[in-house]
Structure formats: C-alpha cells, structure tokens
A and B are shown apart, each in its own frame.
Chain A
Amino acid sequence: MENLIALLIAAPLLGAAVLLCGGRRLDKAGHWLGTLFAAASFGIGVALFTDMLGRAADDRTLSQKLYTWIPVEGFQADVAFQLDQLSMTFVLLISGVGTLIHVYSIGYMEHDERRRRFFGYLNLFLAAMLLLVLADNYLLLYVGWEGVGLASYLLIGFWQHKSSAATAAKKAFLVNRVGDMGLSIAIMLLFTTFGTFAFGPVFASVGNATEGKLTAIALMLLLAACGKSAQVPLQSWLGDAMEGPTPVSALIHAATMVTAGVYLIVRSAAVFNGAPDAQLVVTVVGAVTLLFGAIVGCAKDDIKKALAGSTMSQIGYMILAAGLGPIGYVFAIMHLVTHGFFKAGLFLGAGSVMHGMNDEVDMRKYGALRKFMPVTFVTFGLGYLAIIGFPGLSGFFSKDMIIEAAFAKGGTQGWILGGVTLLGAGITAFYMTRVMLLTFFGEKRWQPDAAGHEPHPHESPKSMTVPMVILAFGSVFAGAFFEIGERFLKWLEPVTGYEHGNSPVSAMAVTASTMVVLVVGVGIAWSMYGRRPVPVLAPRGSLLTRAARRDLFQDDFNHVVLVRGGEHLTRSLVYVDHSLVDGVVNGTAASVGGLSGRLRKLQNGYARSYAVSMFGGTAILIAATLLMRAV
C-alpha cells in the first residue's frame, strides 16, 4: 500500500509535465487531462484512506523511500515519504478540493486561450503541495515549499498581460522568499542541532536540545509559516494575489499554500512544545493577524479582497490554535479542513458572481443577485453561514473549539486570547454579512463595464455549480461529522497529541457568548447595509475604514521601512562600494597597470637582452651563495 504514496504526487506532476510540454496539440483536451490527473491523485488518496481506516490507530503511519537524494557521509537526504493521519487529512483536502477547483476551472477558464497552461500550473501546484505534506524530512518539505511558491507565482501572474497581475505575482514571490529564508535557516539549525532532517529522528531527540536552540528553530519555522500563510508581518501579498484567476484564489486560500504554514507548525509540534516562548509568539502572531484580516475584510469593496481578508483572519485562528500547543493542534487542523470547504465554496461562488457580472469585482455594483443566480446564492449562503459559525454548520464547531481552547490556555493569556477570538468571531459575522448583503440583497446597482456592456447576470454552467454544491455540502456537514463522537480528535490525536485544557469558562458559556457576538455582528451589518440603500460610490468613511481600505497601511509600512530603508542602505553601500572598494581595486589596477607599462619596456623581444638579465641573475646568485658561505 505504501508504494502508492509516490503516485499521489506523481499523478499531478505527470499531468503538469504532459500539459506544459505537450504543446498546442493538447489545447483541446488539456483541461480534461489536468482534471483527470488531479482526480487520479484524489482516487489514490481515498484508497490509501480506506486502507488506513482499516488499521489500528497506532499503526497508521506508512512510509516509502524512493531513493537517497544526497548520499554524503554525515549528510543523508532521502526522497522519502511519510503518510500519517495528519498528512492523510491534507492529502484528501488538497486533492479533493483541488479536483473540484479543476472541474470548476473547466467552465471558468473556458474562453481563455491559455487554458491548457493554466491546468498545467494547477497540477504543478497540487504536486508541490502534496510533496510538501508527504515529505518525511525537512529538506524534501523545503522542495515542496519552494514548488508551492513557484506555482503560486505562475498562477497569480497568470494574466501576465495585466501589469497589476505581474506585479502581484512578483510581490507574492518576494514576500514568500522572506519566509523561505526562515525555513532554510530553520533547516540548517535543525541539522546542526540534531544532525538529521528526518521528522522521526528529529522529534525523537528534541529532548536533547536546549530550549534556546528549540526557540530559535521554532521562531524561524514561524517566520516561514508567516510567509506562506500570510500572517503579520508577511501578510501583504495575500490581498494582491487576488489578481490571479478566481479558481487560483480558491486553491491558494482553501486547499494549498496558506495552509502550508499551519501544517508546518503542527507537523513540528514536538519542536514548538519544547519552546514555550516561541509558542507565545505564535499565538500573538495568530491573534494579531486574526484581527488585522478581519478589520481589512470589513472595509474592502472588492469581493475577492474582502474574502482574502477573511482568509487571513481565519488562518490567524488556526495559527493561534497551533500556538496553544497540544490543546489546540487538532482544532487548528479541523478548522483548516472546514475552512477549506467553505472558503473554497465562497471563492468559487464569488467567481461565479464575477462570471455573471462581466468580471466586475466591486460589491457596490452588485445587489439583488439572489434572483438571478439561485444556485450560487444558496451555496454561497451556506458557505457564509458556515464561516460565521451558524449553529450546526462546520464553522460553528471548529471555531468554537478554538475559542474554547484559547480560553483554556489559562491565566491572563487565556483571557486575552479568548477575548480576541471572540471579537474576531463578531467581526467575521459583520464583514461576511456585509458581503452577503451587498452581493445578493438590496437593489440592483449594476453598472455597464468599461466597454459599455450592461451586465446580464446568469447562472453559471454545470461544471462550475456542481463543485460549488459539493463544497456547500462539506460546509454544512463536515463540522458536525467531525465533532460527533469526537471523530476528528481521535483520528489526529496519535500524531499531534491532545490534552484537554482547563477552561475558566464552561463550554456552554463560550458557545453562548459566541452566539451573542455573532448576532451583534450580523445585526450591525444589517443596520448598516440591509436597511438603507447602499451608495455605488464608497463614502469617505471613518478613519478606521479608510485605514482598512489601505490594508491598515501594510504597504505603506513596508514601503517606508523596507523599501526606503533598503534604498538608503543600498545607496550608502553603493557609495562605499564606489569610493572604498572600487577605489582600492581601481587604485591597485592603475598602479599595477602603470608599473607594467614601465616593466613592459624591459620586454623588448630581443633574446640577447633577456640573456643579459639571466646572466646578471646568475652572477647575483653566485654572489649570494658566496656571501652566505662567508657569513
């Protein structure tokens, strides 16, 4: 059975190779091929999953070693895979949601002449992400990590004719590099500390390392996670990444890419457990991002950017949960899976809306679309209910668990974190309700597009609605399915460990207060956007709104601190380089050149002249010998 693991990755990788190398003759069948390869991967994943269910809980880890990648004495890097419950969860999420997005893209990208290439990139994205979650050592994980970065770059910049898309792709790539640097440093630290990269030996010998070293490693891993998962301070690329086609956004936000950071932290649980200070930083990063994303999401009029803010915020929940330690790991992953369902559904729904509205993204120019797009409305609505945590739906269970776990952290920390998560839940309810109301309710505020075409909203084709329906099912039932009988907890516990924290507030109280903030959030949104007509042009808004529209000055901050600072640094370095380094080098060169010009005169080409030099040299040698003997 373990021999199938490599096939999980091989299928989409082969798909990418075939599609990208196949040339134009595959243009007609490319999308079907790509979908087929993704589905094949999902099929293998399901087969492995059923096999895994058939075995005892402590016997569920499979491993497969393909070959030794770098066979050097004292530096062994294997291409080896490890499939345990955690990886399995990701495999199913990635390949499952990924396949649905493939199907959706068939319809969405129908009129794009570079569709084959798009599917090739999608397959590459899946392959890289699967490699990331299946690797059994950090070095191979790093390969997948970089592969994800590459695929995201290609996909975000897919419409490269738009300069904004090209810039966004570059921005995502560059910001991710900062995180990648963290990961590479972490890997080097791991190697110097433990002498190996493999997960098993590293986690087994965590106890031998000092806490300082573990903290350093954990912080570097956190930096990496911040890059990929768009956490503060490396969050700025996520909003711009919306320049990519909508299926890409769905893929990045739901199944791949941003989940990689959460995976990395949960996978390295052993390291983080040994570094409480780093864990505290993780929770702080999670909490800050949670509020940051939520606030940004409230102010955006671009439907995709609002959803992007929401993703940032939800990933913040997961990171926060992962930072809580064993009480939170399971819930981080659980929220990740449920979020995968409803966020994919929401993005696909947003894509469907844009598809019907001439690619208009401004929600202020939507309105009253529920009558024209019933399927999209229902599926989007279910996703909406799930994300705000409507009782009984997925988000309700997973988010509730995280809030509970945050309170269970204990002490002042617990109260603060619990408060932040509760506040986040309220803001989530607000901005998601706002998206819902602006898009589907109210009056028509449609505007002709730049070419003067009036929008004619219509329901999207089957290839797009079917995945949305399936994802809506997931959004509704996944949470309950996981929660009943604590199935998910029992499933993941052998890998991540679990301890039940002592919450100062009872579960009932948490649920009740969540309901309260939810209702308050929805109520405020209703009073602002439901009861009165929405202006097509955005009002000036309060200071906070304006700040949030500018992504809370994230780009301005980066510009002032990093870009300007970098420019000044470079300028001074250039100055030093010109005056000092070049001065020395050029001076040396000039003096050598001048000296050579004079020495060249000696080199007159006459053999006899050289003979005189030789003869004189011999005479001097003899003199020296005699002198030495005389002394």
Chain B
Amino acid sequence: MNPVNYLYLAALLFTIGASGVLIRKNAIVLFMCVELMLNACNLAFVAFSRMHGNLDGQIIAFFTMVVAAAEVVVGLAIIVSLFRTRHSASVDDASLMKL
C-alpha cells in the first residue's frame, strides 16, 4: 500500500469536517466538525513525519492538540454562556452582526 493513502484519507476527513461546519446549525456539532478538521490535519502531519523521516510533524500535531484543547475549552464556555442568554445553541440565532 502506498502510504500516501493516509494523506487522501486526511483530505477526505478535512473536507467532510468543513462541509459539516457549513451545513450544521448546532454550535456544538459545529465545534465537533472543527475538531474533525483538526484531527485530519494531525493525521496529515503524522503521515508527513513518517514520510520525511523526522519528528517535527509529530511535534506540530502535538501542539495542534494542545491548541485544540484550549480552543475547545474557550469555545464551549462561549457556547454555554450563549445558551444561557439565548436558550439556543443555534449559530443562526446569533446573527446580530448585520445591517
């Protein structure tokens, strides 16, 4: 098997995640899709790491995880406070930023 397949898989997962972001209205699911995209990137990094024979790709993936963790914490906190004030987790309801 050609290890490039991992990259194809990563691209596929990324695209699926991105379309999820576009079509889902629930902020939590939307966030999950973002996580999916990040994970796809991580898979690509790991595959590249193996491809180039150095560990830098894995380090980047590691940092991505840390940043994703931080992002999830803040993002979910925002969703919770949003839900408290609006009783809804739909991103379409938070559409005040328009003329």
Bound together: yes
Cβ proximity bits B48-72 to A, threshold 8 Å, 1 near / 0 not: 0000000000000000000000000
Judge whether A67 is part of the interface by a CB distance below 8 angstroms: no
B1-52 contacts to A, CB under 8 A, are 18, 21-23, 25
- B97 to chain A: which residues have CB within 8 Å? 605
A495 and B44 CA atoms in complex are apart in Å by: 92
- B94 to chain A: which residues have CB within 8 Å? 607
Judge whether A450 is part of the interface by a CB distance below 8 angstroms: no
Judge whether B99 is part of the interface by a CB distance below 8 angstroms: yes
Are the CB atoms of A605 and B95 closer together than 8 Å? yes
Are the CB atoms of B22 and A612 closer together than 8 Å? yes
A178 and B23 CA atoms in complex are apart in Å by: 73
Cβ proximity bits A512-546 to B, threshold 8 Å, 1 near / 0 not: 00000000000000000000000000000000000
- A608 to chain B: which residues have CB within 8 Å? 21-23, 25, 91-92
Chain A interface, >50% SS class: helix
Judge whether A611 is part of the interface by a CB distance below 8 angstroms: yes
Are the CB atoms of B98 and A607 closer together than 8 Å? no
CB distance from B90 to the nearest CB of A (A): 10
- B96 to chain A: which residues have CB within 8 Å? 605
Cβ proximity bits A595-624 to B, threshold 8 Å, 1 near / 0 not: 000001001111110011001000000000
CB distance from B98 to the nearest CB of A (A): 3
Number of interface residues of A (CB under 8 A): 10
A605 and B97 CA atoms in complex are apart in Å by: 5
A603 and B96 CA atoms in complex are apart in Å by: 11
Among A603, A606, A611, A612, the most chain B Cβ lie within 10 Å of the Cβ of: A606
A611 and B18 CA atoms in complex are apart in Å by: 9
- B18 to chain A: which residues have CB within 8 Å? 615
- A605 to chain B: which residues have CB within 8 Å? 95-98
- B92 to chain A: which residues have CB within 8 Å? 606, 608
A604 and B99 CA atoms in complex are apart in Å by: 8
Are the CB atoms of A603 and B99 closer together than 8 Å? yes
Measured CB to CB, the nearest residue on chain A to B91 is A607
Are the CB atoms of A611 and B98 closer together than 8 Å? no
Measured CB to CB, the nearest residue on chain A to B18 is A615
A607 and B23 CA atoms in complex are apart in Å by: 11
- A615 to chain B: which residues have CB within 8 Å? 18, 21-22
Are the CB atoms of A606 and B95 closer together than 8 Å? yes
- A603 to chain B: which residues have CB within 8 Å? 98-99
CB distance from A189 to the nearest CB of B (A): 55
CB distance from A27 to the nearest CB of B (A): 63
A615 and B33 CA atoms in complex are apart in Å by: 14
Measured CB to CB, the nearest residue on chain A to B30 is A608
Are the CB atoms of A604 and B22 closer together than 8 Å? no
A212 and B98 CA atoms in complex are apart in Å by: 66
CB distance from A612 to the nearest CB of B (A): 5
- A600 to chain B: which residues have CB within 8 Å? 99
A615 and B37 CA atoms in complex are apart in Å by: 13
Are the CB atoms of A611 and B95 closer together than 8 Å? no
- B91 to chain A: which residues have CB within 8 Å? 606-608
Cβ proximity bits A576-606 to B, threshold 8 Å, 1 near / 0 not: 0000000000000000000000001001111
A600 and B98 CA atoms in complex are apart in Å by: 9
CB distance from A622 to the nearest CB of B (A): 11
Measured CB to CB, the nearest residue on chain B to A597 is B99
Among B94, B96, B97, the most chain A Cβ lie within 10 Å of the Cβ of: B97
- A607 to chain B: which residues have CB within 8 Å? 91, 94-95
Measured CB to CB, the nearest residue on chain B to A603 is B98
CB distance from A524 to the nearest CB of B (A): 87
Measured CB to CB, the nearest residue on chain B to A615 is B18
B77-99 contacts to A, CB under 8 A, are 91-92, 94-99
Measured CB to CB, the nearest residue on chain A to B21 is A611
A605 and B25 CA atoms in complex are apart in Å by: 14
Residue ranges of A at the interface with B (Cβ–Cβ < 8 Å): 600, 603-608, 611-612, 615
Residue ranges of B at the interface with A (Cβ–Cβ < 8 Å): 18, 21-23, 25, 91-92, 94-99
20 A-B residue contacts at CB 8 Å? A600-B99, A603-B99, A604-B95, A605-B95, A605-B96, A605-B97, A605-B98, A606-B91, A606-B92, A607-B91, A607-B94, A608-B21, A608-B22, A608-B23, A608-B25, A608-B91, A611-B22, A612-B22, A615-B18, A615-B21
Identify the 4 closest CB pairs spanning chains A and B, nearest first: A605-B98, A605-B95, A607-B91, A606-B95
* Additional A-B contacts beyond A605-B97, A607-B94, A615-B18 (13; CB < 8 A): A600-B99, A603-B98, A603-B99, A605-B95, A606-B95, A607-B91, A608-B22, A608-B91, A608-B92, A611-B21, A611-B22, A612-B22, A615-B21
